[in-house]
Chain A
Amino acid sequence: MMLLFDKLQSLGHSALTSLQRLGRGHVFLMQVLPAMEGMLFRPGLLIRQMYSVGVLTMLIIVVAGLFVGMVMALQSYYALVDFGAEDSVSVMVVLSLLRELGPVVTALLFAGRAGSALTAEIGLMKATEQLSGMEMMAVNPIERVIAPRFLAGFLSMPLLAAIFSAVGVMGGYLVAVELLGLDAGAFWSQAISNVDLYHDLGNGMIKSAVFGFVVVWIAVFEGYDCVPTSDGLGKATTRTVVHSSLAVLGLDFVLTALMFSE
């Protein structure tokens, strides 16, 4: 009986801790959003973070996009050739990339590369008292440290997703046309005639903006809220990757259901 009570108590404690964390996360977001206004007067802060968060993530996005596009083309070809529909390879590749793979895989890679780096950087600033130091210099760290990183991450994600999809299509073209010998004209004409600018490209971009918002929110919050020890920082970085990835996959289902249901 005591064991059961202990388990229940432990479960309740975990639930309360999670709720508290969720509450703190929302309060934190309410502090960060108004602080974005400061970026208008200090564009240099935003540009530096765009480089750090966006440009430095581009290599992994380009390489991943290329290979994902190539694999998609191969798989589509193997599936469609049996039905004599190999000319539709480009449709499969382009729609998959624009609607799903571009936003989702980019967000997952972004969480692993930029999200974890943001958490570690902010957490380390907290552990080395840099954030406290700023507060004592009458400088709000939410404005100077958090807001530029938040905005940079949010703006970078759709751009990175667009690059991922574009490179992926090029990878698909290389495999379908150069390797498998499909007709280049058919490849492009099929792709163009079956892709809707707003429905496919637009919804993909909206998805990636939502994913970017969530991933960067989790990343900066985990860094700011972490226990400032090596153990606390390690756990916060892990939480960023795990929670961001799960949030992206869960949100993807919800957004897909909302956007593409007939």
Chain B
Amino acid sequence: MSDTLIKIRGMKFSRGERMIIDGIDMDIPRKGITAIMGPSGTGKTTLLKLIGGQLHPDAGSIEVDGQNVHKLKTSQLYALRKRMGMLFQSGALLTDLSVFENVAYPLREHTRLSEGLIRQLVLLKLNAVGLRGAAQLMPSELSGGMARRVAMARAISLDPMMIMYDEPFTGQDPISKGILVKLIRELNNVLDICSIVVSHDVSETLSIADYVYVISDGEIVGHGHPEDCKVSDSEWIRQFIDGLADGPVPFHYPAESVLDDLITGNTKS
């Protein structure tokens, strides 16, 4: 069995005229935490949706566990997705179901387990994320951090081979961030799976990642171990890691010159 779980080659994806991902190659190992970092709007979430087969690339290929995701039939794609877990930025919990039922949902859909066994599995998963006591709450009664932890429990309910985390730390208070960091690391260690964390929270992500890709403007601008990234002299990586306002990613959105825009008024707008 290959050590590489996900192999991306020459992948391009655009929306209308705008190129979101411009021909990237990426290998994601079967075990460990791989972080995909980069500024907002650079195509990180799009990349996860491409890996999950929710979007189709314009060119290139994505192989997950040896299967070309975008050449699979719907039934084959769904079979593959049963082995993938995904944590959405919003949690994506089904709002008309309780916490318990949300975690039980994939089990009820894809297995014929007895009610007693489902109950035990769900409570075990909820216990792993520290929310066994919240089993009967509704999603509207949860904080943002709790919702993501429930979504984590749901993502691991079918014991997947990989979990994709889409911006897990965004909008979280320091305590929730700490809990999520701990959970992502511990779940990965205990389940011994592939975790892909898409994030722009530098310190949290670098503290748990085994390997890091930094993307900007749809291209990989650097990759390596977290320690290498911290001392990298690449101006792209430096701007991102140090949070510099200006650099390869410019402070100003592309526009006409100031002279044309403000003084002569000789612009299209």
Q: Which A residues contact B (CB, under 8 angstroms)? A: 125, 128-130, 132-140
- Does residue B89 face the partner (Cβ distance < 8 Å to A)? yes
| Complex Cα spacing A139 to B157, Å | 14
B142: Cβ under 8 A from any A Cβ = no
Whole-angstrom distance between the alpha carbons of A130 and B89 in the complex? 11
The listed residue (A129, A134, A137) touching B89 by CB distance below 8 A is: A129
Residues of B within 8 A of A128 (CB): 90, 92, 95
17 residue pairs from A and B, CB less than 8 Å apart = A129-B88, A129-B89, A129-B90, A130-B95, A132-B54, A132-B88, A132-B92, A133-B86, A133-B94, A133-B151, A136-B54, A136-B84, A137-B81, A137-B109, A138-B106, A139-B105, A140-B78
Name the distance in Å between B85's Cβ and chain A's nearest Cβ: 8
Contact of B94 among A130, A136, A140 (CB under 8 A): A130
Check A133–B110 contact: CB distance below 8 A.
no
Chain A, residue nearest B110 (CB): A138
A137 to B, closest residue via Cβ = B106
Give the distance in Å from the alpha carbon of A72 to the alpha carbon of B218 in the complex.
66
In order of increasing CB-CB distance, the 4 nearest A-B pairs are A133-B92, A129-B92, A138-B78, A138-B81
Residues of B within 8 A of A133 (CB): 86, 88, 92-94, 151
How many A-B pairs have beta carbons closer than 8 Å: the answer is 50
Interface residues in B, total, Cβ within 8 A: 23
Indicate whether A138 sits within 8 Å of B79 (C-beta atoms), given known contacts A128-B92, A133-B92: yes
* CB atoms of A136 and B86 under 8 A apart: yes
Q: Which residue of A lies closest to B79 (CB)?
A: A138
B95 / chain A contacts, CB cutoff of 8 Å: 125, 128, 130
B82 at the interface (CB under 8 A from A): yes
CA distance in complex: A139, B107 (Å): 11
Instruction: For A137, list chain B residues within 8 Å (CB).
Output: 81-82, 105-106, 109, 154
A138 to B105, CA, bound (A): 11
Closest to B78 in A: A138
The residue on A at minimum CB distance from B166 is A129
Q: Which of A125, A130, A139 contacts B109 (CB 8 A)?
A: A139
Residue numbers in A under 8 Å from B52 (CB-CB)? 135-136
Q: How far is the CA of A139 from the CA of B81 in the complex (A)?
A: 9
Query: Which B47-94 residues have C-beta < 8 A from chain A?
Result: 49, 52, 54, 78-79, 81-82, 84-86, 88-90, 92-94
Determine the residue in chain A with the shortest Cβ distance to B85.
A136
CA distance A130 to B97 in the complex (A): 12
Q: Give the complex CA separation of A138 and B106 in angstroms.
A: 8
Residues of B within 8 A of A125 (CB): 95
Which residues of the other chain, B, contact A139 by a CB distance below 8 angstroms? 105-106, 109
**Which chain B residue lies CB-closest to A129?**
B92
User: Do A136 and B81 have beta carbons less than 8 Å apart?
Assistant: yes
CB-nearest residue of chain B relative to A139? B109
**Nearest CB of chain A from residue B197's CB, rounded to whole Å:** 16
Q: Are the CB atoms of B92 and A130 closer together than 8 Å?
A: yes
Name the distance in Å between A22's Cβ and chain B's nearest Cβ.
21
Query: Which residues on the A side are within 8 Å of B79 (C-beta)?
Result: 138
A128 CA to B88 CA in the complex, in Å? 9
Minimum distance in angstroms from B54 CB to a CB of chain A = 6
When chains A and B are docked, how far (Å) is the Cα of A125 from the Cα of B90?
11
Residues of A within 8 A of B92 (CB): 128-130, 132-133
- Which of chain A's residues has its CB closest to B52's CB? A136
Give Cα A136–Cα B85 distance, bound, in whole angstroms: 7
How far, in angstroms, from A126 to B54 measured CA to CA in the complex? 13
A135 proximity list for chain B (CB < 8 A): 52, 54, 81
**A137, B85: Cα distance in complex, Å:** 7
The smallest C-beta distance from B105 to any residue of chain A, in angstroms, reads 7
Distance in angstroms from A232 CB to nearest chain B CB is: 16
Shortest distance from the beta carbon of A44 to any chain B beta carbon, whole Å = 11
- Are A138 and B90 neighbours in the complex by a CB distance under 8 Å? no
Q: Considering the chains assembled together, what is the distance between the CA atoms of A132 and B88 in angstroms?
A: 9
Residues of B within 8 A of A138 (CB): 78-79, 81-82, 106, 109-110
Chain B, Cβ-Cβ closest to A128? B90
Closest to B89 in A: A129
| A134 CA to B82 CA, complexed, in Å | 11
Nearest residue, chain B, Cβ from A134: B94
Q: A136-B85, A138-B79 are in contact. List 4 more A-B contacts (CB 8 A).
A: A125-B95, A132-B92, A136-B54, A137-B109
